[in-house]
Amino acid sequence: MTPTERLQAQTDSAAPAASRIRRVLQWCVVACIALAGITYSSWVLEFVLPIDADPTDTFLSQLAEEGAPYNWVFTTGDTVTGVLLALAGLGGLILFTPRRRYFTIGWIALLCFGLATIADAQWSLKPADPNSPRPDGGLFPQLHQVHALTSSVSVFAIFIAMVAFTVGAFKYRKWPVLRHTGLWILILGSAVTAWMLIADNLPGDYGLGIAQRIQVGAMSLWLLALAAQIAVAERDSPAPVRVGW
């Protein structure tokens, strides 16, 4: 065997191993997204833990504010969610090829959402100062702190990811789970976000706490739908799944 033939044989034998490793890492991305969808729902524990809060007129950030009972539960949930999605977003950019514009935007937005969620948990809401001259006008006025920026960035990033992946699913005629289930979840999340933005500028609270819980719940469901879609694509593909089919 010539040196060239020997090198080619070594390359051919290494290819299946590299393909298996890549496939395992892709499944790790799926697992990270699915777990993040679950951990981002840690707020439901407010109905189990002895917390004295009315979900109709309290913001979820108040569950994790400094000095709140069991705030470590909710900050931990958000931190784990952020780490998982930051890894998933980075892994998606590296592992899934060939690149498609909308899917690339989606992975970057998912990465940004993860990083912003980590920051959101680390710079948790501080209790309102009773001596502050700022008027109390609903849920959003109490977010005039660093937490306001991290929360805004995280919400903006996840919606960019949801829209980008959904548009890509339609444009490239792939990913039916996102074209159907994912689309309805996106519509629901968008509707309650509009509810929050409009109602917050009107007198009264209009159940903003409920709207915000539905919004975050929709985000969690969408993450599970994304994980399910990639898992289906991976299962049905004999080769490593390619997001930009």
222-237 tens-digit pLDDT: 999 999 999 998 776 6
Among 136, 106, 92, residue whose Cα is nearest residue 234? 92
Of 56-70, 72-86, 146-160, give the range with the top mean pLDDT. Answer: 72-86
Question: At residue 11, does pLDDT exceed 60?
Answer: no
Q: What is the mean pLDDT of residues 140-158?
A: 75
Q: Which of 54-68, 136-150, 188-202 has the lowest mean pLDDT?
A: 136-150
| CA-based end-to-end distance of the chain | 38
Angle at the Cα of 88 from the Cα atoms of 75 and 226, rounded to 5 degrees = 95
Percent of the chain exceeding pLDDT 90 equals 50
Of the listed ranges 47-61, 82-96, 140-154, the one predicted with least confidence: 140-154
Q: Choose which CATH entry (1.20.1740, 1.10.3470, 1.20.1070, 2.60.40) describes domain 19-126+142-236.
A: 1.20.1070
Average pLDDT, the chain: 83
Quick check: 150 pLDDT over 70? yes
Q: CB neighbours of 192 closer than 8 A, spacing ≥ 6? A: 211, 212, 214, 215, 218
pLDDT of 31 over the 70 cut: yes
pTM for the predicted model, two decimal places: 0.84
Interval 82-134: pLDDT, tens: 999 999 999 999 988 667 899 999 999 999 999 999 998 888 777 655 555 44
Residue extents of the structural domains in the chain: 19-126+142-236
Q: 40 is written with which tokens?
A: 């981002």
Residue whose entry in the numeric block shows the structure tokens 């948790």: 124
Residue 98: per-residue pLDDT = 67
CA angle 209, 211, 217 (to 5 degrees): 105
More confident residue, 127 or 238: 127
Q: What confidence category does residue 244 fall into, taking pLDDT thresholds of 50, 70 and 90? A: very low
Q: Identify the band that residue 58 occupies on the pLDDT scale cut at 50, 70 and 90.
A: confident
pLDDT value for 84: 98
